[in-house]
Amino acid sequence: MKKLSLSTILLSASFLTIGVCLAEPLEVGADAPTVKTIDQKGNPVDLGKELGEGISLVYFYPKADTPGCTKQACNLRDAFEDVTKAGIKVFGVSADTAEDQLAFAEKFELPFTLLADKKGEVIAAFGVPANAKGFASRQSFLIKGGKVIWRDLSAKPDTQAQDAIAAAKANN
């Protein structure tokens, strides 16, 4: 029987976990997570409190100021009047620092809150898959009164706002 070195075993185990999120994304009907984090200005945000009232879109993206993520954020920015008319509060989430999120928000004049989830706690609480670098996959959740009412596990950057508005209308 061939013996494997400890380094071979550890290397093999690491390949098995790269890009794997152990939790599944939140299902429709699930309670919204009560996790806390900070926004792009470094202010504390209690998602349990924020998501407990009204309708909120929590959308996840891999990295601030990259092409797809910029398209997604700008789609929400450009349709923000319609988003707010639909009663939707918006939270964008990535594993970027607060400084990176602030630079992204300022550069593209984003009128909504970006959450800095450097430790990946919000990403994990929603069960969003992330790769080994912590980059979240592009997913969206609509929360109403503290419950998930809609989810999109392959959110489209160029129709994020329209998809969320349609889901909010369908769930009123």
| Catalytically annotated residues | 69
CB 128 within 8 A of CB 60: yes
CB 136 within 8 A of CB 62: yes
Helices (H), 47-149: 47-50, 67-78, 80-85, 98-107, 121-125
Tokens found for residue 164: 């969320």
Distance (Å) of CA 150 to CA 1, 19, 32, 131 = 52, 24, 12, 24
Helix (H) or strand (E) holding 140: strand 139-144
Tokens found for residue 147: 């419950």
Residue 33 has what DSSP assignment? P
